[in-house]
Structure 1
Amino acid sequence: MSSDTRGVVEELLRRMAEGDHHRTAQLFAESIDWHLNWPVEGHPAVPWIRPRSSRADVTDHFQSLESHHVPELNGTSVTQILVDGTHAVVFGKIAQTVRASGTAYTSPFALHLTVEDGLITRYHVYEDSLTVALALSTQT
């Protein structure tokens, strides 16, 4: 595996797409600057959106996210990766289907990552969290 920023980011995206949560977590430092916090912590529709700060939290995040969606219907795509030294920004579109209701939704996203010594130390997600929360709140 590459330890340069672009190589780590590309490996992260590959592992996320494969659904390999434990191997994905191995790309993160023990302590992480994590930002994915709207709606506020504790919203019942989106339990994976909460403060996190460790490598162990990464596995839990992706397992929780997957448990609420149909992985086979994931159409999330990346449109651009920008790298500047240790920083990378990934742009794309989330396309998911809610497991409980079958509701499909899309949202643009940006992901700001920092890679230091071959590990991800910053993971900040910017998305249309209102769309996500509304899709997960829909009852069949």
Structure 2
Amino acid sequence: MTSDTRDVVDELLRRMAEGDHERTAELFAESIDWQLSWPEEGHPAVPWIRSRSGRDEVADHFRSLEDHHVTELNGTTVTHILVDGAHAVVLGEIAQTVRASGTAYTSPFALHLTVEDGLITRYHIYEDSLTVTRALTTGTDPED
């Protein structure tokens, strides 16, 4: 199970890095437990942050995220991948630049995944939502 989980996580990260949204979505189960570390109502400046429950919504999430950021300036890094059976935790730092304003921001992240029968059934990501919101709404350095 552990090697299967690790293989799926590695493939997910590869497809995400390539911007292959449709093929990324293929790694998810028809029904998924999707959670982002944001208030449930989200924020209008961050439209990719919303509830999702199935594979058919995954590609849209990543397309929307890409639409709001400069792909060529993405410097997101993964520092650790921890696997325990069907569960994996990916740790790293998001480094993005907002397309509309040119504002760059960074945020640590933790991504909790569960892989069952070779498909991702849980996608819970934890990030600094305040930094992301400030970058997308103020057009200034989030550290100010």
TM-score (norm 1): 0.95
1:91-130 pair list within 5 angstroms: 91-130=91-130
8 A Cα contact 1:37 1:50, kept in partner: no
Give the aligned partner of residue 10 of structure 1.
Answer: 10
1:1-140 pair list within 5 angstroms: 4-139=4-139
What is the number of equivalent residue pairs in this alignment?
138
Question: What is the CA deviation profile of residues 11-45 of structure 1, one whole-angstrom value per residue up to 9, with x for unaligned ones?
Answer: 00000000000000000000000001514435111
8 A Cα contact 2:37 2:127, kept in partner: no
8 A Cα contact 1:41 1:51, kept in partner: no
The percent identity for this pair of structures is: 82
* Root mean square deviation, CA, Å: 1.3
Query: 1: distance between equivalents of 2:94 and 2:15?
Result: 16
8 A Cα contact 1:33 1:122, kept in partner: yes
**C-alpha deviation, 1:138, in angstroms:** 1.9
- For structure 2, the residue ranges without an aligned partner over 5 or more in a row are none
User: Helix, strand or coil: the match of 2:52?
Assistant: coil
8 A Cα contact 2:92 2:108, kept in partner: yes
TM-score (norm 2): 0.92
Query: 2: distance between equivalents of 1:59 and 1:66?
Result: 11
- For structure 1, the residue ranges without an aligned partner over 5 or more in a row are none
Say if 1:42 and 1:125 are closer, same or farther in 2 by CA, change over 3 A.
closer
